[in-house]
Chains A and B, each alone.
Chain A
Amino acid sequence: DIKLTQSPSFLSASVGDRVTITCRASQGISSYLVWYQQKPGKAPKLLIYAASTLQSGVPSRFSGSGSGTEFTLTISSLQPEDFATYYCQQLKSYPPRTFGQGTKVEIK
């Protein structure tokens, strides 16, 4: 099974900061990686698919990059509504459609 490791697991940042979250795959997954945002008590929301394609309606301050085994999600200028937990998921080889363990972004 392909394993995904996100780093960091937790980060504290201020409004306006540039934030980068990394997702590493245990083997190459080309660009078959997506990113979700989840707020407490809510369902996940698709942000990025195919590693770098912004989902419709998602603000342009979110961006994704990478291929193979290393991927990043970047928020160019953190906004109050961006404080949430972020997950990556691989769709190259399944089952299983593995998720990363999550990165919680909190207010500094």
Chain B
Amino acid sequence: EVQLLESGGGLVQPGGSLRLSCAASGFTFSSYAMNWVRQAPGKGLEWVSTITSGDNTYYADSVKGRFTISRDNFKNTLYLQMNSLRADDTAVYYCAKDHYASGTYGNDYWGQGTLVTVSS
């Protein structure tokens, strides 16, 4: 059974940093691109970042230069290092697995989400 379990969320002050983790199991983690998607309170879904199986990384303009996605294929874990956090980064952050290796068929498994609140 595929499972994705996020952790690391919490309350942080503006300008602060946080690292999210997503522990994966039930599939060959190294073979799939992984993603972070966020959802601000009462708002829609926003794609944040993708890391391919070959470690190519992509970012939304809103987080480029502040967030870093990475993966540890030995630990089957996805990470999101978030620096220079702003109030508008407040959201539930989901990790999500690509459906197929091609990257064009969406995300078939999602974690339960972890809440990041940026506030003084």
Listed in ascending order, the chain A residues whose CB lies under 8 Å from chain B are 32, 34, 36, 38, 43-46, 49-50, 55, 85, 87, 89, 91-92, 94-102
Q: How far apart sit A38 and B113, CA to CA, in the bound complex (Å)?
A: 13
- Asked whether A102 lies within 8 Å of B44 as measured between CB atoms, the reply is yes
Most chain B CB within a 10 A radius of its CB, from A44, A85, A92, A98: A44
Tally of A-B Cβ pairs under 8 angstroms: 67
User: Which residues of A sit under 8 angstroms from B44, Cβ to Cβ?
Assistant: 85, 87, 99-102
Listed in ascending order, the chain B residues whose CB lies under 8 Å from chain A are 35, 37, 44-47, 50, 58-61, 94, 96, 99, 103-108, 110-113
Using A55-B99, A91-B105, A95-B60 as known contacts, list a sample of 4 further A-B pairs with CB atoms less than 8 Å apart, ordered by residue number in A. A45-B110, A94-B58, A95-B59, A99-B45
- Across the two chains, which residue of chain B brings its CB closest to A6? B44
Contact of B112 among A32, A43, A97 (CB under 8 A): A43
